[in-house]
Structure 1
């Protein structure tokens, strides 16, 4: 069946591709099994060399890949180029990781070592917000560990993933990364296929829980990076002039369509108006438009469903009496555009506060009592990331100790690094990605105990 990929800045068809069938899934897994036999037999040095070559090829194709990402996802071209650069760096990083046996004991009685073995076929399900980068996050540690991958990208943003798979297969072995296109009629047969040994998923918590149910019967290994509703706490001693720009960028990066964005901001009342004013000015300075046009800094929301969801949250906030501040959109825009929106003094029961917006809107809540507001800031369900903003103090250290998220940032937010494990607590995820810990999630353990 033909699938039209829309450019969210224009709502025009960017590309038309075919979708996969259940038979295509079967073929992809069979090809992946065959590739696994060859790839897993290669030495660590051979796999590392091949992945470094992949990274160089991604860099060489950077202009094409960035154009693809902007055209299918909507982000400004400069941000798409950043995404390509991240893909290059993450690939080089994973290529350079080593997996030497860990010696647990070397005594007169015995030698005990832990070896790490590849799992087999890994199934990857990726979202539409960072289509190239998240595919890299899923694929590269799996390949470095010796596995093969079948990936199902979002049906909204598959084009850059198809190109990435071609690049990988050209510089490794044929069919090492297979791509299937479709929705759950393709995804569920992939996840439940008996020859798939691990699943990695980035997306919403409800879908992540459904995936966990689907794969539990086969005891497949699983890594889930799920939703968040990250809170930031601005302390009374915070330097607003120094922090406002970073707070805006970590709230609105990728038009707020990032799992680890700062999504709820709690500000001490003494700094509330100054910070709101600063953020409103930064929002007004954004150039909203088609990401392929020069000078654009702020693109559209990726799809109609998300556009409607975010606008409904904004409408609810207006109806509640909260102050909603957003610059006017330029005339003539035809895509899914929402201006960067600040919501002042929202009731804490609003959807825009309680639920993950995943769009360009930030609720800002004043507080007087830090201990009291922390009871609200710590979400009952989500615990992906959190942050505290201010000068060194006992209060700052106390907030760090209280936040229960997988990552706590200090005077920053949403920063992910290839060497730093990243994952959520509570319903925000299972397992971690990145760093050696993330790499080892793509392996199985083999303990060798030698008596002397």
Structure 2
């Protein structure tokens, strides 16, 4: 078989400090260590990162409040837009550096960081910069006002992109921000703090506090935070909803998913296989809207699975900095344990596991791309979010059965429908209880399109005009 020579991206473009402090009121504090962030592909320690405590969170929220009252809220929308445009351009200028840093800290392939994550980050800032002076025309009242200080907590699967999803609309609407990145992937958020300095963003408008779950809880429960935005697990989302209940805080939650990817017998098989692979193996399956349940019509199931296995045998697993790599490292040892536990449950419950021949590196956190066939709706692997490169395959006979199986989940974030008939796609999409439905594609994102879920996948929308609403009082 034709083999690619290694094509490694250089690490030299990235200058990682040995330790990082917090970014509060436009300045970095002295780093106090306390938490290490590692490269999941090698287990090498990249840097020590400060664990923010109560006084740190108090200082960050106070800085955000001052900036809101004195500078950012009184500023004209057109002036705020200039800062957002400037940030977007600096992200583009530093795109290669940010992509390498994201891959080192997160484990995702450099091709994804370079071609998907970082371009979308810039696009979100450009898009919301355009809204900053047009909020009266967004459909949320004639005199929409910002809410105040936003406390934002983001996950480790798309560290810089989730930051952009949160910060860009908040700033465009006139709010100030205290953001806590995930404990395993703080480095691009800290690089973004440098970008804020480079853009001459007024001090206190954006503050970055690093740490674990306790730091996030301190931020979410802080009495001077007006708006909470969280992306992460459903379990933590429930805790946040409880903690803000009965307060004046506005809250949006983007939580877990167990998306159905539905393939009908008239679907273009090769195109569908590419969509299935992208739906579950993109970013090692670390995607809340991953197409982790494949529902395929019985009459084409065998043909599709044969084609899918041939395609999976071509996937390259290995060094995330190699531009040929398709599947990188699992983000952490804890996440790898979770994937292994649920895969073992699939074995125990009688599903048939298949992975292509795959030589995994000796160091780091790795899991081969895997499919389970013979899966029923009662299996844990069909019901629980695995958040890894593991696909559960179920079959159906009729469109009604497909819809019933697709909706038989506590989640409702996304879905995919594959068919050559547009009328069938629209009819099925209308019956699916999912916030986003892709037609003959999967995992396509655009800053102009809203994203969010139903049921245990959370509430509120991010992206598009609809993404402004959570940051406006109207």
Structure-1-length-normalised TM-score: 0.93
What is the count of residue pairs matched by the alignment? 438
Q: Which residues of 2 match residues 290-369 of structure 1 at below 5 A?
A: 290-330=319-359, 332-369=361-398
Q: Which residues of 2 match residues 158-169 of structure 1 at below 5 A?
A: 158-169=186-197
Deviation at 1:113, TM superposition (A): 6.3
Pairing 1:78–2:111 present: yes
Secondary structure, in 3 states, of the residue corresponding to 2:372? Answer: strand
Deviation at 1:379, TM superposition (A): 2.9
Distance 2:377 2:269 in 1: 23
Distance 1:102 1:167 in 2: 30
1:197 alignment partner in structure 2: 226
Instruction: Choose which of 69, 90, 95 in structure 1 pairs with 2:129.
Output: 95
Deviation at 1:169, TM superposition (A): 3.8
Pairing 1:15–2:43 present: no
Instruction: Choose which of 69, 84, 93 in structure 2 pairs with 1:60.
Output: 93
1:272 alignment partner in structure 2: 301
Query: C-alpha root-mean-square deviation of aligned residues, in Å?
Result: 1.8
Pairing 1:249–2:278 present: yes
Distance 1:113 1:280 in 2: 52
Which whole-Å deviations, capped at 9, do the CAs of 1:340-392 have from their partners, x for residues lacking one? 11112223322111111110011111222332343222034111111211111
Which whole-Å deviations, capped at 9, do the CAs of 1:46-68 have from their partners, x for residues lacking one? 11111101111111111221111
Pairing 1:155–2:155 present: no
Deviation at 1:297, TM superposition (A): 1.7
Secondary structure, in 3 states, of the residue corresponding to 1:314? Answer: helix
Aligned structure 1 segments of 4 or more residues deviating by more than 4 angstroms = none
Deviation at 1:173, TM superposition (A): 1.1
Task: Identify the range of structure 1 (373-382 vs 136-145) with the bigger mean alpha-carbon deviation.
Answer: 373-382
Summarize the Cα distance change of 1:113–1:164 in structure 2 as closer, same or farther, 3 Å threshold: closer
1:228 alignment partner in structure 2: 257
Which whole-Å deviations, capped at 9, do the CAs of 1:82-119 have from their partners, x for residues lacking one? 21111111111111114343599xxxxxxx96211111
Distance 1:409 1:192 in 2: 36
Which whole-Å deviations, capped at 9, do the CAs of 1:276-323 have from their partners, x for residues lacking one? 112112211111112113422210111112111111222222333322
Deviation at 1:241, TM superposition (A): 2.2
Would the aligned equivalents of 2:449 and 2:464 in 1 still touch at CA under 8 Å?
yes
Structure-2-length-normalised TM-score: 0.89
Give the unaligned 5+ runs of structure 2. Answer: 1-32
Distance 2:307 2:141 in 1: 56
Pairing 1:417–2:449 present: no
Give the unaligned 5+ runs of structure 1. Answer: 105-111, 446-452
Summarize the Cα distance change of 1:398–1:101 in structure 2 as closer, same or farther, 3 Å threshold: closer
Would the aligned equivalents of 1:268 and 1:367 in 2 still touch at CA under 8 Å?
yes
Distance 1:422 1:59 in 2: 24
Would the aligned equivalents of 2:135 and 2:173 in 1 still touch at CA under 8 Å?
no
Secondary structure, in 3 states, of the residue corresponding to 2:237? Answer: helix
Deviation at 1:205, TM superposition (A): 1.1
Summarize the Cα distance change of 1:43–1:268 in structure 2 as closer, same or farther, 3 Å threshold: same
Deviation at 1:240, TM superposition (A): 0.6
Summarize the Cα distance change of 1:331–1:195 in structure 2 as closer, same or farther, 3 Å threshold: closer
